[in-house]
Amino acid sequence: MTSPVLYHVAEGVATITLNRPDSLNALNWELMRELLAAVERAAKDEAVRAVVLTGAGRGFSAGADLSARNSGGETVDSGTLLRERYHPVVVALRQMPKPVIMAVNGVAAGAGMSLALAGDVLLAGKSALFLQAFSKIGLVPDAGSTYFLPRYVGEMRARAMAILAEKMDAEEAQRIGLVWKVYPDDALQAEAGRLAHHLATMPTAAYGMIKEALDSSFANDLPAQLEREATLQSRAFRTDDFREGVAAFIAKRSPRFKGC
Ligand code: T3D
């Protein structure tokens, strides 16, 4: 049987591919279990210094697999499903101590869009679409959408996206701050790979700390966040990469970062 998640490591980059293209990579129980295993594997592997998450076929992910719901065979309560299968993935992506690039190659709907928002750098193909599909089927945005969306695009837009559930194209998503860069569809994977390989040569430990600093930003007042920055900077100060970065700058040469 084909695996619903592909995992490939090359030159410091782990590429994780959602692999149920016939259903636009709809998220079923098995896919989410394998996705968590892949994300945890990438986090632990010291040889991996950047991660790309993308979808096979013409979509990124159409969100939760609704076919199991329709057949009556899926009786697990949605809240239970979220807590057991989705939340660990979203948290593991956010806590990944290295950069995560989301290469959104087509539609990202429902929890598929939530997953895309959980990355650090969101790249999109020109034909990518973003859809808070939840309310169309009588559900509430989940898997982090109500956390990420207001923070990224502001509350008014987040409310309209959640309530209207209209498809948003990649250029509009970039304009409102959901997407970092948009590429022609046939260039997206190469561009994501190029960026990931570049990041894999950079100061990985500092990236992990940057993520930590930004993740605490909205929960802190200014003094607390200044203290958080100082604590993290103490850690960064003690890395080999900081010494190398300064030495390379003074010597006017390119740095050779080890990631620690
Ligand atoms: O209880 C819980 O599960 C809680 C968790 C909830 C989290 C959620 O994500 S809720 C939101 C679930 N997602 C949706 O409601 C989106 C449903 N899909 C769509 O609205 C459309 O498919 C898209 C807008 C995403 C794409 O439209 P389009 O026209 O490009 O493609 P399509 O023809 O609709 O879909 C292609 C195939 O994928 C099709 O199968 P077929 O007819 O070729 O055999 C379609 O049925 C299948 N597919 C698409 N989305 C899903 C799906 N199969 C299962 N689950 C899906 N979500």
Q: 71 pLDDT exceeds 80?
A: no
Q: Which three-class secondary structure state does DSSP give residue 41?
A: helix
Q: How far, in Å, from the CA of 77 to the mean position of ligand 1?
A: 19
> Tell me, what's the pLDDT at 102?
99
Q: 73 pLDDT exceeds 90?
A: no
Reported as a pLDDT band with limits 50, 70 and 90, residue 74 is low
pLDDT digits (tens, 9 = 90+) for 202-260: 999 999 999 999 999 999 999 999 999 999 999 999 999 999 999 999 999 999 999 99
What is the distance between the alpha carbons of residues 33 and 60, in angstroms, rounded to a whole number?
A: 17
Ligand 1 contacts CB of residue 24 (under 6 A): yes
Residue position matching structure tokens 């003690």: 238
Other CB atoms within a 10 A radius of the CB of residue 260 amount to 12
> What is the mean pLDDT of the segment spanning 51-74?
89
Enumerate residues 6+ apart whose C-beta is below 8 A from 25.
18, 19, 31, 55, 56, 57, 59, 60, 61, 62, 112
Atom of ligand 1 nearest to the CA of 65: 55
Q: Which three-class secondary structure state does DSSP give residue 68?
A: helix
pLDDT digits (tens, 9 = 90+) for 150-207: 999 999 999 999 999 999 999 999 999 999 999 999 999 999 999 999 999 999 999 9
pTM: 0.97
Q: How many residues does the chain have?
A: 260
Ligand 1 contacts CB of residue 113 (under 6 A): no
pLDDT digits (tens, 9 = 90+) for 97-120: 999 999 999 999 999 999 999 999
How confident is the prediction for the chain on average, in pLDDT? 97
Ligand 1 contacts CB of residue 81 (under 6 A): yes
Strand 129-131: give its sheet, edge to edge: 59-61, 107-109, 129-131, 168-169
Q: How far, in Å, from the CA of 200 to the mean position of ligand 1?
A: 34
Phi first, then psi: give them for residue 27, nearest 5 degrees: -95, 105
Burial label, 237 (beta-carbon count in 10 A; 0-12, 13-18, 19+):
exposed
The separation between the first and the last C-alpha atoms of the chain, rounded to the nearest angstrom, is 39
Ligand 1 contacts CB of residue 68 (under 6 A): no
Helix axes 222-237, 204-217, angle to 10 degrees: 170
